[in-house]
Amino acid sequence: MKYEFPVKLHRFTTEEFERKKARYVAKYGYTMHIPGFSDIVKFDIKPPPTEYEIYHYKKGHKFTLGYERYMEIQKHMAKKRESYLRMMSSPTPSWVNNIGTAMTLLDDINDSCGTLSLVCRVMARMVPKVAARFFMGPAGWLLTAADITNFAMTIMRAPIGTRTAKATLTNVGKANPFCKEAKVNRARRMRSIKPTKGEIIEGLQTTNNVFGIGLSLGPIVGAMIEAVAGPYRVLTGKKVRVKWPVPPLWAQEAAACAGVFAAQQLLTGGQEMSDEEHTKCYMVTEMASQIINPLFNEYHPIDNIEGMENIILTPPGPKDPSTRLLFEQEGIDPLTRLGFLCTQERDASVGELMDVGADRNNHTFREYAQNTKHTIMGQLGAQAVTSTSENMLSLWEGEDQVGLDIHPCIKAVTKIVENGFTVPEDITKRQMGFFTEMVLYPPPRGLEPDFRTIQNSICPRCGIKLLRRPVP
């Protein structure tokens, strides 16, 4: 179970951070972040890594840490990096961030003191009256401390201006923890153990700071500030974009994404798999490309993930207990056998997998098509690859940017078949090459040849004699 002290000392911006942020903004621009549900409602009970674990994580010692803990640390570091990039790209000025840092510290103290005061009051009701005073005293002190920090936050939030001076003084006066009204209010709250809405929210924020389960209202406040700072940056001529939260994946979408990734990795292995296994991979990819279509329309990774090609991926290890048992019986440690087929490395970036996989997948499909060109299974696989290519291009560039056109050779062969003829089986590659050139550039250039031209002109010049197909 995760446990941390509820109040943390936050860091203010430094000159070094300002220089790094300036370089980052000059390259990528500003980004306004819209918080998602998971940014506000927290459920993270995994303890943060220790210095010992960080040392072994940097060294890549998965066996020492254990695969599950290694992946937990990797996710934790990814969240830390995402938080760092949010600060780097935020359009909010540094002086506003520094004020927000001080306000966050005071808010954590206020929430913790108010929550502990409520806990002490509840404990005082549960124990005998003799022992109740040992809880009521600290409850009053904590409630006073919460009012003092609330008074400090009220002063810091006070606007500077003559028009609002009267209303500001009134609010500050009411928040004074030492005035008579505040003392009466604390005395009334000390007699009650029923939490108010504000105390419930404070309690959930405190449990989030301590256990990782609760509410985090910081992203909402940050988004409200960026909603003002972002348009200001646009008016000054800066580049600002809006980053929406990652939508939660449905079970079928998560399975489809995993299927695309797994199929891509398997297909880079070349002809180590059978033709049937290749066909299954192609069909899985086609179905997955249709499932993730709505996801890409709502949240395109290219538009929302900065530096996606530089993200380092780690291949997942075996999760099924029976698979792990099988490895143990054979004396094999699966953590030492993890790696990508196409790179022969344990870890690889997205860019490396794309560069290596593009050529290998293309070569693999050509060999597969040659092996299965006269089978129904080959036709299914080829059709799946064609549909997948169309779907993926539509997802990547948009449906309006993808146009389909049948290759002139396919059109010519289709005309031959439709007119009751076929090509002899002993046709040579040289004749096929001549036929392709003639069909691609027929006289007059730019026009598709009709069947009579193919039969009486193109085929004789290529040395191909068409055969009439037998009538079934």
Question: What mean pLDDT is predicted for residues 176-200?
Answer: 77
3-state secondary structure of 90: coil
Helix (H) / strand (E) containing 33: strand 30-33
Q: What is the pLDDT of residue 125?
A: 83
Question: What mean pLDDT is predicted for residues 463-468?
Answer: 89
Q: What is the pLDDT of residues 137-163, one digit of tens each?
A: 888 888 888 888 877 777 766 654 445
Whether 51 has a pLDDT exceeding 60, the answer reads yes
3-state secondary structure of 43: strand
Lowest mean pLDDT among 123-137, 225-239, 332-346, 428-442: 332-346
Question: What mean pLDDT is predicted for residues 377-383?
Answer: 89
Distance CA 366, CA 28 (A): 40
Under DSSP, the state recorded for 458 is I
CA angle 167, 173, 179 (to 5 degrees): 160
Question: What mean pLDDT is predicted for residues 361-388?
Answer: 88
Half-sphere exposure of 64 (CA within 13 A, CB side): 11
Tokens 């499932």, located at residue: 291
pTM of the model: 0.60
Lowest mean pLDDT among 183-187, 241-245, 255-259: 183-187
Question: What mean pLDDT is predicted for residues 314-330?
Answer: 80
* pLDDT classification of 279: cutoffs 50, 70, 90: very high
Q: What is the pLDDT of residue 356?
A: 80
Whether 166 has a pLDDT exceeding 70, the answer reads no
DSSP letters of 339-363? --TTT-SS-EEHHHHHHHHHHHHHH
CA-nearest of 219, 215, 274, 284 to 245 is 219
Domains of the chain: which residue ranges?
Answer: 15-243, 251-401, 408-468
Query: Residues near 378 by Cβ (< 8 Å), separated by ≥ 6?
Result: 275, 279, 368, 369, 371, 372
Q: What is the pLDDT of residue 56?
A: 87
Share of the chain above pLDDT 70, in %: 91
Whether 445 has a pLDDT exceeding 60, the answer reads no
Q: What is the pLDDT of residues 58-99, one digit of tens each?
A: 887 777 888 788 888 888 888 888 888 888 889 998 888 888
